[in-house]
Amino acid sequence: MASLPKFKGKHPVTIEADILKGPFGKAVNKEVQKEYGNYKVINKVGYNPKTNQVEGSNPFYVTAVNQVIMPEGLRTSTVDDIKLIRQLNLLDLKGCYEDIGFIIRGLEGDNKYFAKKLMEGKQKFPVTVNLSDLELIKDDQSEYGLAFKLKDTAKIMQGDLAEYKGVSALSRLCLGRILDLNSYDDDLGDSFSDGRVVTVHSLVAKILSNI
């Protein structure tokens, strides 16, 4: 029998995922608070030793978490990650909410300052941006003292990917308490005790690094 060409299959697109909790979550929160803890929008989220997890979420805190964990090959969850987590039922997230990204619909309306900082002169609207594609910057002109900057490697996705759509110039994109993708027109700095931060590691990246 003639020899066959070498088979080249594809690794399954799979992830490790969990909420920020335990010693890891405590350490990540400590680093976030050390860098940005003097900002109210950051220190309203924190580690609860009674529940052993980080409680609360807003886009500022999640972006700060990214800056701490990305050197370790981790990220906070993206739109695609959340869809996979729902599909595979990896985590029990019902009853909680998770900030994932922003929906930007234009440069006029609520949160227009942040829409313009990110997108002015750059794109047709609407677009979706993952928080993992942003950097947190200090900004005296922002009502929160902080703002966002696109990374050079940022992936801007055309369209409003929310299943429930808001109307602001820039809205928070969250996994809602009933596991739907919602575009909230709430204050960007709001945080509630049932907020959670989901961190992700791509198993594909781990597999390939070991080849």
Q: What is the pLDDT of residues 48-88, one digit of tens each?
A: 999 999 999 999 999 999 999 999 999 999 999 998 898 88
Mutual orientation of helices 59-69 and 22-36 as an angle, nearest 10°? 110
Domain that holds residue 41: 15-209
How many other CB atoms sit within 10 Å of the CB of residue 172?
27
In a domain, 65, yes or no: yes
Reduce the DSSP state of residue 43 to 3 states and report it. helix
Distance CA 44, CA 27 (A): 17
In a domain, 10, yes or no: no
In a domain, 9, yes or no: no
pLDDT for the residue numbered 204:
47
In a domain, 6, yes or no: no
Q: What is the pLDDT of residues 4-45, one digit of tens each?
A: 566 565 555 578 899 999 999 999 999 999 999 999 999 999
Contact residues for 154 (Cβ-Cβ < 8 A; gap 6+): 129, 133, 134
Distance CA 94, CA 176 (A): 8
In a domain, 3, yes or no: no
In a domain, 1, yes or no: no
CB 21 within 8 A of CB 92: no
In a domain, 160, yes or no: yes
Q: Parallel, antiparallel, or unpaired: how do β-strands 181-184 and 53-55 relate?
A: unpaired
Distance CA 193, CA 196 (A): 8
Q: Total domain count for the chain? A: 1
**How sure is the predictor about 184, in pLDDT bands with cuts at 50, 70 and 90?**
confident
In a domain, 24, yes or no: yes
Region 86-111: what's the mean pLDDT?
A: 93
Q: What is the pLDDT of residues 158-176, one digit of tens each?
A: 988 887 788 899 999 999 9
Q: Give CA torsion, residues 139, 63, 165, 161, to 10 deg.
A: 130
